[in-house]
Homo-oligomer: A and B are copies of this chain.
């Protein structure tokens, strides 16, 4: 898109060459063909050294730029508007069933449902109005998907999985796999390992988003439950019979072991791990890489470390080397004094 056209679209004015622009980029990372933006008038050096072909600047900016300028009243707003213009157009997933999809005759398909190429939808499945089931997805027997829920390509839902309305399930998500459960015994001096049947399901409430390649296991008995508006990032593991009450976030690569309950409004940061059979109270945050072995009752609202402790305790642990060094020299002094006396 020509800079002049973009300036017009953004309600701004172009100063300098009418360059061709293809994408947005931060001041530092931008390259030829990029439109950049300066949100903070202090970033003089970043503007001076940018490799962008054009930059969004406010009327107040009077230091020029090494590229074209698109002068706009509110660079922040204009930047978002430009991003929408440059964004790859969202693919249209029109209502209809792709002729290559294999959909069992018993499937109940709501109005305006999209089913993509090579999808497999087994018997007894129910798809709510406006649901989007993208290509190559597997939906096992008896699953129920709510209205307007969007399932991206190559998701697998094992039999009996229930998903609410307005959910987004990203590529490669696995819902309803068997939980990890075995009994171990000895039989004539030889170890014997038996699988514990995993008889429950996964149930996902309304407004949940689940990131790429995340795995959520079916319950041993009853349901593994992901409450409303829970937002789960990529590569997260949720064990069998976990209950997440809702309005919580689980950031990438975190994991929650079996039968644990997570309250409302919790935030589990990246790579954190939560043991099985415990409870995390409403509103508690578990910091990145923290490991939580015991229930958290909410008296501490942010925990860090393994085993997880309060920020304060974690902080004083970090200071130990310095404190011990000081103690060493004090003891040395005391010894010297005592030797003299």
**Residues of chain A having any CB pair with chain B under 8 Å:** 23-26, 28-29, 34, 79-80, 83-84, 86-91, 100, 102, 116-118, 120, 122, 134-136, 138, 140-142, 152-154, 156, 158-160, 168, 170-172, 174, 177-178, 180, 182, 191, 193, 195, 197, 199-201, 207, 209, 211-213, 215, 217, 220-223, 225, 229, 231, 233-235, 237, 239, 241, 243, 247, 249, 251-253, 255, 257, 261, 265, 270-271, 273, 275, 288-289, 291, 293, 305-307, 313, 316-318, 320-321, 323-324, 327-328, 330-331, 334-335, 337-338, 341
Contact = CB atoms under 8 A, between A and B. Distances in A.
A87 B199 contact: yes
15 contacts: A26-B222, A87-B197, A88-B201, A120-B153, A136-B136, A154-B156, A171-B174, A172-B174, A172-B213, A177-B211, A215-B235, A215-B252, A255-B271, A330-B335, A334-B335
Given A170-B174, A209-B195, A270 B271 contact: no
A118 B136 contact: yes
A273 B273 contact: no
A24 B233 CA distance: 29
A333 to B, nearest CB: 8
